[in-house]
Amino acid sequence: MPAPRYHIIGNYFSPYVRKALLFLELKGLDYEIDPIAPFIGGDRFQQLSPLRRVPVLVDGARVVNDSSVICQYLEDRHPETPLYPADIGDRAQARWLEEFCDARLGEVVVWRMFFQKGVKRLLFGEATDEEVFAKARDEELPAALDYLESQLPADGFAFGAVSIADLSIASFLRNAALVRCAVDAQRWPRVAGLLERTWALPAFAKLVALETAIARTPVPEQHAALKALGAPVSAETLGTWPPRRGVMRIE
């Protein structure tokens, strides 16, 4: 019996979507993606995601929302390539690090940095709130990195083999890099080392290559551009234009 073909909704630039895509890639699962950007999606999308959030995973008749739930769902369905630590305590800590990224780095990196420098300007034509961005860059992100530095080993991945913890940290700090905020390897050597190892994974590099290729492509044209690049995009999209401000979040 062929492996199931999963359908995922969400844009490559979302760290929440990136995390789910890494699970699909590292587990060698067949999937297609409707790469709708944050704040894009009509009524059909809202039927699948009542909170108007991405990613959404569709597995036949089943719809799974929220990146953390999606990753656990894929882990349970495909345990032969584990991406959670086997030890119960380590698994709990890995989930906590994922939650720390989803919550704290989501606030700081996604909403106060990436949204300010990217989404707000490109989708809504609004100016960056430089005060918000500067505080996130100079105070809030360093505090979060201090905490992560205290939780990571001196070398290797967080729990030996690559896990949800590494993928989460690397996914969110990729968005910091996209707004030119690099992790200082002198101040945070453990975080920087983890990023270097995780970003070097072929699955991660594959997703970064697609992000880079469409970075300057207008949002309404990204679906076609990704298809031309050979990305596994869906035949149809739930994306609509113009974008809706609404309550959509990217988690």
SS3 content of the chain, % helix, strand, coil (to 5): 55, 10, 35
Tell me the three state secondary structure of residue 233: strand
pLDDT at 208: 97
pTM equals: 0.94
Say which CATH class 6-82+209-228 falls into: alpha beta
Q: Which residues sit opposite 53 in a β-bridge?
A: 249
* Cα angle: 13, vertex 110, 226; to 5 degrees: 10
- 1.20.1050.10, 1.10.1660.10, 3.40.50.1400, 3.90.1300.10: CATH of 88-202: 1.20.1050.10
User: Do residues 104 and 144 make contact, with C-beta atoms less than 8 angstroms apart?
Assistant: yes
pLDDT at 246: 55
Classify the C-alpha dihedral 201-10-106-40 as positive or negative. positive
pLDDT at 185: 98
| Distance separating alpha carbons of residues 6 and 122, to the nearest angstrom | 30
Question: What gap in Å lies between CA 62 and CA 129, rounded to an integer?
Answer: 40
CA 14 vs CA 9, 146, 150, 215: distances in Å:
11, 23, 26, 13
At a CB cut-off of 8 Å and minimum separation 6, what does 243 contact?
A: 37, 39, 40, 123, 124, 219
Structure tokens at 46: 């809202």
Q: Where are the domains of the chain?
A: 6-82+209-228, 88-202
Question: Would you give per-residue pLDDT tens digits along the chain (251 residues)?
Answer: 455 589 999 999 999 999 999 999 999 999 999 999 767 888 899 899 998 899 999 999 999 999 999 999 999 999 999 999 999 999 999 999 999 999 999 999 999 999 888 777 767 778 889 999 999 999 999 999 999 999 999 999 999 999 999 999 999 999 999 999 999 999 999 999 999 999 999 999 999 999 999 998 988 889 999 999 999 999 999 988 777 765 444 45
